[in-house]
Amino acid sequence: MTAVMIQGTGSNVGKSLLVAGLCRALLRRGLVVRPFKPQNMSNNAAVTADGGEIGRAQALQALACGVAPRVDFNPVLLKPETDVGAQVVVHGQRIASVKARDYAGLKPSLLPKILESFERLRAEADIVLVEGAGSPAEINLRDGDIANMGFAEAAKVPVILAGDIDRGGVIAQLVGTHAVLPDTDRALIKAFLINKFRGDPTLFDDGLAEIVARTNWPSLGVVPYFADAMKLPAEDALDVRSAGTGHIKIAVPLLSRIANFDDFDPLKAEPDVTLDMVKPGQPLPADADLIILPGTKSTIGDLNFLRAQGWDIDLLAHVRRGGRVLGICGGYQMLGQSIADPDGIEGAPETLLGLGLLNVSTRMTADKTLTNITGHHPASNAPLSGYEIHIGETSGTDQPWLEVDGQPHGAVNGTVSGCYIHGLFGSDAFRAAFLSEFGASSQAHYGQTVDDTLDALAEHLETHLNIDAILSIARGQ
């Protein structure tokens, strides 16, 4: 038994959750399972136990496998910084920032590093579940591909193709993919499945028969829509939505390069909370109890974006009314007096005035901080854990807000506070103490909820997919 790759007919067809659910299902069958994604593009990243960063989806898949996240699970991570460029992270470490056109020339040098990681995982596991990216039908990107068929061909991994019926046109998705693929790539696909079905699946029997007849690929099943997916961390910013109807309103502006937005998932799970993810073009709500400035892949760019939306004016009015503000990572940097980027780490060298709500200043540096942390909240003595993933060093005269690994961390000035810690709301005790300051009670057990949801997803896939057939494909049978 070696590996099988789940590719999709397009982005956001559910590949990440399918792999996570299959990881947990096979773990429950007693197998040693490892997740793998050759190349990911996301600003939602996780810090690994070996001191690097990978896509958040692979961290969730690692949890589904019962192991700590490692850089081998996602050897190449692209973190968009602009509409035409991204930071390139290889084996967990930033190596360059390149424009999309220039990245094509870099890819051939990355394939050996990808295969190196994959072979390490295959040597230790009963099965490696590989997730593709985007769609193999993007044949204009096939030359030099390392994310889909290019990887599958190089590693000799069979492919299962997933279609998304929820967005419509699933017959055309699958049959069209079959039609445009070259013969060698088409031969790598051993079966297909339908994801996100709503209603009576027997009504799609004729559709399944048409796909089988036109592609000669067998069907592995039709997976009904899994409503509890919202309880799991999302990787795509397109999946970020408002939630809840509680009496405490927390507003989060959707910055153009928002990062690590799963910071807010534990708040969504709280019955006393309404989480309002504010879209561009909308004002920050005047009745918010708390405004959180989230992390961002481009602090200077998103500070300019925030001002272009008029959110800086809304934020200052909120503070004058006595409202609370919290900045996390890039949001923390924005709250200070200035952001200096003399070496042009984020673009042209410049120094930008911050929002002036904390007496701290930030200097951008080329070195990136990547570390898992433990600490506590001195005001309540509640323990917390999380991770730092940022460039830049921040210092100032405000009182520290947290204590992290025995050292003061962050800043607090009246109703405004900030820190570099992602994932702190995942700590149940800290979240309960934080929400109690607003008169809210905490009823959620976030980590247990995620783990229970992975079990439910595994049972969902066991019911609706032919997992024995997937194992046979992985064995090359």
Token look-up 């109703």 returns 415
- pLDDT of residue 235 exceeding 90: no
Q: How far is the C-alpha of 476 from the C-alpha of 459, rounded, in Å?
A: 25
Closest C-alpha to 53, from 103, 94, 114: 94
The angle, 0 to 180 degrees and rounded to 10, between the axes of the packed helices 446-464 and 428-436 is 120
Token look-up 């997976």 returns 223
- pLDDT of residue 136 exceeding 90: yes
Closest C-alpha to 289, from 261, 264, 322: 322
Would you list the DSSP string of 179-226?
HHS-HHHHHHEEEEEEEEE-S-GGGGHHHHHHHHHHH-PPEEEEEEP-
- What is the structure's pLDDT at 236? 67
- Which stretch of DSSP H or E encloses residue 127? strand 127-131
CB 65 within 8 A of CB 31: no
Work out whether the CA dihedral 225, 22, 386, 260 comes out positive or negative: negative
Q: What is the pairing mode between strands 407-409 and 93-99?
A: unpaired
- What is the structure's pLDDT at 345? 87
* Residues 6+ positions from 354 with CB-CB distance below 8 Å: 303, 333, 334, 335, 336, 337, 338, 339, 361, 362
CA-CA-CA-CA dihedral for 196, 199, 202, 203, to nearest 10? -100
Q: Which residues of 88-101 are buried (b: 16+ CB within 10 A; e: fewer)?
A: bbbbbebeebbeee
Closest C-alpha to 306, from 347, 270, 257: 257
| pLDDT tens track for 395-425 | 999 999 999 999 999 999 999 999 999 999 9
pLDDT band at 210 (very low <50, low <70, confident <90, very high): very high
Residue 123 has which token pair?
A: 């040597």
Q: Do domains 3-230+452-474 and 248-439 have the same CATH topology?
A: yes
Which one from 65, 178, 318, 329 is the annotated catalytic residue? 329
CB 327 within 8 A of CB 292: yes
Fold of 3-230+452-474: Rossmann fold (3.40.50)
- Residue 96, strand partner residues: 88
- What is the structure's pLDDT at 1? 62
316-320 mean pLDDT? 98
Q: How far is the C-alpha of 455 from the C-alpha of 474, rounded, in Å?
A: 22
* Residues 6+ positions from 344 with CB-CB distance below 8 Å: none
pLDDT band at 450 (very low <50, low <70, confident <90, very high): very high
Token look-up 């079966």 returns 191
Distances (CA, A) of 142 to 135, 153, 215, 351: 10, 11, 20, 41
- pLDDT of residue 239 exceeding 70: no
| pLDDT tens track for 147-165 | 999 999 999 999 999 999 9
- What is the structure's pLDDT at 82? 76
| pLDDT tens track for 42-74 | 988 999 988 999 999 999 999 999 999 999 999
- What is the structure's pLDDT at 6? 98
Q: How far is the C-alpha of 292 from the C-alpha of 252, rounded, in Å?
A: 5
Helix, strand, or coil (residue 378):
coil
Would you list the DSSP string of 132-177?
--S-TT-GGG-TT--SSHHHHHHHT--EEEEEEGGGS-HHHHHHHH
- pLDDT of residue 135 exceeding 70: yes
Does domain 248-439 correspond to CATH entry 3.40.50.880?
yes
In the DSSP assignment, the letter for residue 400 is: P
Helix, strand, or coil (residue 86):
strand
Domain ranges (residues) in the chain: 3-230+452-474, 248-439
Residue 322 has which token pair?
A: 């006595």
Which one from 178, 422, 460, 464 is the annotated catalytic residue? 422
Distances (CA, A) of 57 to 14, 232, 336, 448: 11, 10, 32, 18
Whole-prediction pTM value? 0.93
Is 329 one of the annotated active-site residues of the chain?
Answer: yes
Pure H helices in 254-343:
265-268, 299-308, 311-320, 330-334
Distances (CA, A) of 367 to 317, 364, 387: 35, 9, 16
CB 275 within 8 A of CB 243: yes
| pLDDT tens track for 162-190 | 999 998 999 999 999 999 999 999 999 99
| pLDDT tens track for 259-288 | 999 999 999 999 999 999 999 999 999 999
Is 390 one of the annotated active-site residues of the chain?
Answer: no
